[in-house]
Amino acid sequence: MPPEAASLAPASAAAGLPAAWRAPLAALAVAALALVTATADAWGAMVHQWWNIDTYNHLLLVPFIVAWLVALKERDLARLAPQPFAPALVAVAAALGLWVGGERLGFDLVAQAGAVLALQAAAVTLLGLRVSLVLAVPLAFAAFLVPFGDEIIAPLQSLTADIAIALTRWSGVAARIEGIHIHTPAGLFVVAEACSGVKFLIAMVQLGALVCAVRFSRWRVRIAFIAACIIVPILANGVRAFATIYVAQIIGAERATGFDHIVYGWIFFAIIVALLLGAAWRFATREPETHGWPLAAIAGWRWVARAEAFRIAPIGAMLAIIALAAIAALGLLV
């Protein structure tokens, strides 16, 4: 339905929600419940990681950020009416297949990605192509619900050790390295998993993606900022490790380690974030509510209008998703 026609849809005075949205949103809620129930093990593992593993504590903010991004598009959404999009059911099935494959093979990351992707695909199915394009940023940002980072801890430990030993030798402190073990006159330093900087890195990438979506409009700026959000935390973590080693030569290894945890945990991270944002803010060319594709631009894409011919009733889309979830759950048990 074009925006002009959608704006004429009657509204529910009681709920403050256009009548055209009520059935698709209700169907989406039921479909989401079915998907989460079917993939409960994956969601349970994700919630455990968000809540109990400090590397992923910041992922608890993702649902709130997604909700904020959706709220920013309220005016555009009020001009549209959801048109459930039948072809997106293929994406729901593929996502559930990914979840089943991950569970069968014991790859938690794959299973969790499939569980999240199934919800994203269900939203596209029940809200329709045009609405999903308007909500492309929050839908994509929901991918950060998947805890990722354990896979890169070992390489980050090695990188941190290499940077730290190079700076330590440059400073004049005699040192030698064996893997992630650095021997100095003050004692042995080990670049443990907690010192790899993975928490800092993935948090910065998430922040960088959000800033790129809501503040930058030029792709060169976006690419440069994301690159900075990857490179700077890695280098900064190496400098932090070196600083700990260097300070230890003066005040002792035990006191230096305590100093490292306090400074890096609360001060150093904040300084790096502030410097990155400060350096990039002069390139901000858009307001947050203009994130994603403009409604006028989407309305001019002929392929969208043609694709919307493949529509399905909300109840039919909901029942199809429930059936797919049941088939995937049963397939996992066979």
Q: What is the pLDDT of residues 80-103, one digit of tens each?
A: 999 999 999 999 999 999 999 999
Note the pLDDT of residue 13: 39
Mapped to the 3 state alphabet, what secondary structure does the chain carry? Answer: CCHHHHCCCCEECCCCEEHHHHHHHHHHHHHHHHHHHHCHHHHHHHHHHHHHCHHHHHHHHHHHHHHHHHHHCHHHHHCCCCCCECCHHHHHHHHHHHHHHHHHHCCHHHHHHHHHHHHHHHHHHHHCHHHHHHCHHHHHHHHHHCCCCHHHHHHHHHHHHHHHHHHHHHCCCCCEEECCEEEECCEEEECCHHHCCHHHHHHHHHHHHHHHHHHCCCHHHHHHHHHHHHHHHHHHHHHHHHHHHHHHHHHCHHHHHHHHHHHHHHHHHHHHHHHHHHHHHHHCCCCHHHCCCCHHHHHCCHHHHHHCCCECCHHHHHHHHHHHHHHHHHHHHC
Q: What is the pLDDT of residues 205-217, one digit of tens each?
A: 999 999 999 999 9
Q: What is the pLDDT of residues 13-40, one digit of tens each?
A: 334 678 889 999 999 999 999 999 999 9
Locate the domains of the chain by residue range.
3-128+308-333, 151-283
pLDDT at 123 over 80: yes
pLDDT at 232 over 70: yes
Q: What is the pLDDT of residues 140-198, one digit of tens each?
A: 999 999 998 888 999 999 999 999 999 999 998 888 999 899 898 888 888 888 788 89
Q: What percent of the chain has pLDDT over 70?
A: 90
Note the pLDDT of residue 1: 44
The pTM (predicted TM-score) of the whole model is 0.88
